Amino acid sequence: MKIDKTPVPLIVPNPEDPRLTERVAGTDQTGAAVEIRVPVERPLTLYLNAQEIVTMMTIGDYPEYLALGYLLNQNMLKYDDVVTEVEYDDDLQVVVVRTAHHTNFEAKLKKRTQTSGCAQGTAFGDLLEAVESVALPKAELRTSWLYQMTRAINTMPSLYLEAGAIHGCVLCQQGQPVCYTEDVGRHNAVDKIAGWIYRHGVDPGDKILYTTGRLTSEMIIKTVRMGIPILVSRSGFTAWGVELARQVGLTLVGRAKGKRFIALSGQERIVFDQNLAFVEEESARHKRKGEDRDD
């Protein structure tokens, strides 16, 4: 991994960025005229050296992190590959990742378009093999950190709270968010975090990844590829996601809302140090907005 010696920027949502939402007029259930903010999605075409890889639908922030994270999580870029340049052209909506040497995957690639839905799909069948050899660090998840983390995430300004129809992923250290990304698909959001980790040489071994989306096999694979030992979601699980998490020793916590959560894998990392009498239930505002989310 190429390590950047400059200070690591803390990434948080910017709901006031005018490029990320637009106002749309409509009618509510009473027939009254209303105007709401909705997220903007735009195409971003990714090149690896001279090869076109994919066209993604994204809200458009942090394209460099998204490009690096996509390539890493699709196993097209290795963590020891040397990236010489990441070039983004806003007018053309193109991002080009250049490496010191050609990667092993360029000859296999075919042009494809990724929709903004959550079922992103992995590009190669060898991703499962790529995670089987990963040894996740022991780490620990204190329940006090979990409640501190979810409270901070739920109350932090975000596009989701302002406009809905968005997914978020948050990288946390203990109970403190350090990188919070959003996008129209949860896979874009987690890829931005992977790119941020790679770009700045961040140690993932003591981190917790929080996602608003389902705990599917792909989310487990991406978390393990990033070397993060703990994955938390406010949403639920899939059976294959749980099976994979148990196979690789990932701590998997779902349905984390208010005081409640369920751990289905890696429970040995959890330290129950929080007195639940001092934990508040989820706010009504967050519950109401949560109805808009595609879990």
Question: What CATH number should be reported for the domain holding residue 262?
Answer: 3.40.140.10
Angle among Cα 136, 227, 248 to the nearest 5 degrees reads: 45
217-225 and 239-248 helices cross at what angle (nearest 10)?
30
Decide if 99 is inside a domain: no
3-state secondary structure of 222: helix
Read off the pLDDT of each residue in 58-78 and give the average, rounded to a whole number: 93
Answer whether residue 1 shows pLDDT above 80: no
Decide if 73 is inside a domain: no
Decide if 240 is inside a domain: yes
Rounded distance, CA 218 to CA 244, Å?
A: 10
Read off the pLDDT of each residue in 203-225 and give the average, rounded to a whole number: 94
Q: How confident is the model at residue 132 (pLDDT cuts 50, 70, 90)?
A: confident
Decide if 202 is inside a domain: yes
Q: Residue 117 in contact with residue 57, Cβ under 8 Å?
A: no
Decide if 176 is inside a domain: yes
Going by the DSSP 8-state scheme, the letter that residue 25 receives in this structure is: E
Decide if 173 is inside a domain: yes
- Specify the pTM: 0.87
Answer whether residue 295 shows pLDDT above 50: no
pLDDT digits (tens, 9 = 90+) for 103-121: 656 555 544 444 444 545 4
Q: How confident is the model at residue 4 (pLDDT cuts 50, 70, 90)?
A: very low
Rounded distance, CA 265 to CA 243, Å?
A: 9
Q: What are phi and psi of 255, to 5 degrees?
A: 55, 40
How many structural domains does the chain have?
A: 1
Read off the pLDDT of each residue in 159-171 and give the average, rounded to a whole number: 88
Read off the pLDDT of each residue in 237-249 and give the average, rounded to a whole number: 95
3-state secondary structure of 52: strand
Output the pLDDT for position 181.
Answer: 96
Q: Residue 184 in contact with residue 41, Cβ under 8 Å?
A: yes
Strand positions, DSSP E, 129-203: 141-142, 167-173, 176-183
Output the pLDDT for position 129.
Answer: 67
Decide if 75 is inside a domain: no
Answer whether residue 291 shows pLDDT above 50: no
Does the CA dihedral 204-133-235-41 come out positive or negative? positive
What domain range is 192 assigned to?
141-290
Higher pLDDT, 231 or 7: 231
